[in-house]
Homo-oligomer: A and B are copies of this chain.
Amino acid sequence: MYIENINGPEDVKKLSDEQLNVLAEEIRKALLEKLSKHGGHFGPNFGMVEATIAMHYVFESPKDKIVYDVSHQSYPHKMLTGRKDAFLYEEHYDDVSGYSNPGESEHDHFTIGHTSTSVSLALGLAKARDLKEEDENVIAVIGDGSLSGGEALEGLDYAAELGGNLIIIVNDNDMSIAENHGGLYENLKELRETNGEAECNLFKAMGLDYIYVKEGNKIADLIKAFKQVKDTKKAVVVHINTQKGKGYKLAEEHKEDWHYCAPFDVETGKPLYSFEGEDFSSVTADYLLKKMREDKKVVAITSATPTVMGFTEDKRKEAGKQFIDVGIAEETAMAMAAGIAAGGGKPVYGVYSTFVQRTYDQITQDLCIDSNPATIVTFWGSVYGMNDITHLGLQDIPMMSNIPNLVYLAPTTKEEYLAMLDWSIDQDQYPVAIKLPGGEMISDGKEVTKDFSQLNKYEVTQKGSKVAIIGLGTFYNMGCEVAKTVEEKTGTKATVINPYYITGIDEALLEGLKKDHDVVITLEDGFLEGGFGEKITRFYGNSDMKVLNYGVKKELLDRYDVKELLKKNRLTVEQIVEDL
């Protein structure tokens, strides 16, 4: 095998054309084996094997710098830059992260996991190079799906003005995670169909030079194209037409399903572990589809991740015009939600906690200034969510709960969630966001009769004395457990409170606790800094009440173990009882 002898790009350069093709097959074989056992991004990596080989054949990494957009297509790059063992040997599978990572290799320049950043980051590297009067190539590799994001379009626009070398490889596999959405994809199609010759050309309209490579999975053609642009003195787009999932028939045929995979059986493609029950994704789609049938003004919005809100292909079809996928364009998704609400529609934008970060200004300006009554649902904002440093769900409380006019709610069960969603969709006073709890979805069958329009009204679910425990969202149940343990150990029955509201405090209730309580405990699923508990503590700052805030210390964690993280932050029943 050639791959076993590749310790860096210099070893790629030694191979003949034919050997490079064999290398591509070896990479695919290793990827298939690892991904079938380990899971990971499938389609993007299978499509980029040849282009990655060609890049390392032509360019001089790490002197020449390659920046991968979203970097879920960077596995072949890792294999060619000294990290092959993490793909060849099972015991080394976890030696590397799923994203580019400067901590792993000098061939990686940024830790990247959000889309649409590569061109702007590469512009920065190129500008630094020019300031230092050096002459390396800077290469941004961006998928067609990522092009629709604001940061990418801004970067493409500025690139022409940079006035120095910048090579933008547009990896066009005609797919985002799901299908692409947006007018520019018609232009990419036209360019593919005209072998890059169409006069109307998005990239040229942004002032960029342009070449097209029809066979984006043919190493020889790619090498030729990359040689042609190497050392260019101005920004150029190399538009390569690749096949997502190439080399594994099921992935070629079912591109959306195979964007990312859990461990699976190579023969059948079936996942090794399957989950058939309800979760917050499926109940969201089921609830919304029902609501849509009853009310034509209800519309669900996604920014390229429809399945997180349960909208699989068949459910999208069922929703028809009442489902919008704006593509990777979170800013537009949030602004459209605001606009639809202003126009009398009833929008629900479902978004991962980590990606809602892209809409801070849209929440503030477009949504909240005019209190446009749209509904936002944040998914996976939890210690139990994704644990890559690029995809943490720990910031949405500090980010969103301090924006004026927003009502941010934290349900603890399925029933509370659906009651909040129902209220939010039908009210026309407030922009509302709902933070789904992490961990397994709890369904207790209880009817929820609470009137959520009485803002910031917390609920005492157990009346006690001395100790009051305010358990927000995910950690409400840990609060109940703490109360139970305290009672068992000391006989003291603690007060337990479900606050529901993240964006405000129930002053009357908190004031009342002063009478017969000495300690208030707050629990929240996210960073403590700027979070929920601190608002409670500030309220009591001038009183004798002691307040203990539990949550996660602000820190950029990477691939953490949940149990360890909770323990480190004293977020276990035992530790909290001990602190008391």
Q: State whether B342 touches A124 (Cβ < 8 A).
A: yes
Which chain B residue lies CB-closest to A127?
A: B340
Asked if A546 is at the interface of the complex by the 8 Å CB criterion, the answer is yes
Complex CA gap A201/B335 in Å reads 26
Contact of A541 among B153, B208, B548 (CB under 8 A): B548
28 A-B residue pairs with Cβ-Cβ distance under 8 Å, sorted by A, are A110-B366, A120-B332, A120-B336, A120-B339, A124-B339, A127-B343, A128-B340, A128-B343, A132-B296, A148-B154, A150-B150, A151-B362, A153-B157, A155-B335, A158-B181, A159-B183, A160-B183, A200-B205, A202-B205, A360-B360, A369-B389, A395-B403, A399-B402, A401-B529, A401-B530, A529-B535, A541-B546, A543-B546
Which chain B residue lies CB-closest to A526?
A: B402
Asked if A261 is at the interface of the complex by the 8 Å CB criterion, the answer is no
Shortest Cβ distance from A371 into chain B, in angstroms?
Answer: 9
Complex CA gap A111/B404 in Å reads 15
Asked if A358 is at the interface of the complex by the 8 Å CB criterion, the answer is yes
Asked if A368 is at the interface of the complex by the 8 Å CB criterion, the answer is yes
Asked if A98 is at the interface of the complex by the 8 Å CB criterion, the answer is no
* Binary flags per residue of A324-342, CB closer than 8 Å to B gives 1, else 0: 1011010110011111111
Q: State whether B335 touches A124 (Cβ < 8 A).
A: yes
Residues of A within 8 A of B (CB): 65, 102, 109-114, 117, 120-133, 148-151, 153-161, 181-184, 186-187, 199-202, 204-208, 296-297, 299, 321-322, 324, 326-327, 329, 331-332, 335-345, 347, 357-358, 360-362, 364-366, 368-370, 389-390, 395, 398-399, 401-405, 527-531, 533-535, 537-538, 540-544, 546-549, 554-556
Complex CA gap A347/B337 in Å reads 36
Contacts of A555 in B (CB 8 A): 404
Q: State whether B538 touches A542 (Cβ < 8 A).
A: no
Q: State whether B364 touches A395 (Cβ < 8 A).
A: yes
Q: State whether B361 touches A358 (Cβ < 8 A).
A: yes
Q: State whether A154 touches B361 (Cβ < 8 A).
A: no
Contact of A114 among B184, B332, B361, B548 (CB under 8 A): B361
Q: State whether B158 touches A182 (Cβ < 8 A).
A: yes
Which chain B residue lies CB-closest to A343?
A: B128
Complex CA gap A342/B401 in Å reads 32
Q: Residue among A112, A121, A149, A547 with the most chain B CB within 10 A?
A: A121
16 other A-B residue contacts (CB within 8 Å) besides A117-B366, A157-B183 = A113-B365, A123-B336, A128-B344, A131-B296, A149-B154, A150-B154, A158-B336, A160-B182, A199-B199, A200-B205, A365-B390, A399-B402, A402-B530, A402-B531, A528-B538, A543-B546
Q: State whether A554 touches B402 (Cβ < 8 A).
A: yes
Which chain B residue lies CB-closest to A292?
A: B131
Which chain B residue lies CB-closest to A556?
A: B404
Shortest Cβ distance from A297 into chain B, in angstroms?
Answer: 5
Q: State whether A332 touches B155 (Cβ < 8 A).
A: yes
Q: State whether B157 touches A154 (Cβ < 8 A).
A: no
Which chain B residue lies CB-closest to A535?
A: B529
Contacts of A159 in B (CB 8 A): 183
Complex CA gap A543/B541 in Å reads 10
Q: State whether A158 touches B329 (Cβ < 8 A).
A: yes
- This chain's copy number in the assembly: 2
Which chain B residue lies CB-closest to A344?
A: B128
Which chain B residue lies CB-closest to A358?
A: B361
Q: State whether B148 touches A150 (Cβ < 8 A).
A: no
Q: Residue among A126, A182, A361 with the most chain B CB within 10 A?
A: A361
Contacts of A154 in B (CB 8 A): 148-150, 153, 326, 329, 331-332
Contact of A208 among B65, B183, B322, B390 (CB under 8 A): B183
Q: State whether B342 touches A125 (Cβ < 8 A).
A: yes
Q: State whether B117 touches A335 (Cβ < 8 A).
A: yes
Shortest Cβ distance from A189 into chain B, in angstroms?
Answer: 10
Q: State whether A153 touches B155 (Cβ < 8 A).
A: no
Complex CA gap A127/B125 in Å reads 40
Shortest Cβ distance from A160 into chain B, in angstroms?
Answer: 3
Complex CA gap A529/B399 in Å reads 11
Q: State whether A339 touches B402 (Cβ < 8 A).
A: no
Q: State whether B158 touches A332 (Cβ < 8 A).
A: yes
Contacts of A341 in B (CB 8 A): 124, 128
Complex CA gap A370/B336 in Å reads 32
Contacts of A202 in B (CB 8 A): 202, 205-206
Q: State whether B370 touches A132 (Cβ < 8 A).
A: no
Contacts of A537 in B (CB 8 A): 534, 537-538, 541
Known: A121-B339, A204-B200, A537-B541. A299 touches B127 (CB 8 A): yes
Contact of A345 among B127, B199, B337 (CB under 8 A): B127
Known: A538-B534, A541-B537. A345 touches B183 (CB 8 A): no
Contacts of A157 in B (CB 8 A): 148, 153, 182-184, 327, 329, 332
Which chain B residue lies CB-closest to A299?
A: B131
Shortest Cβ distance from A311 into chain B, in angstroms?
Answer: 17
Complex CA gap A125/B122 in Å reads 36
Complex CA gap A368/B529 in Å reads 16
Complex CA gap A155/B327 in Å reads 11
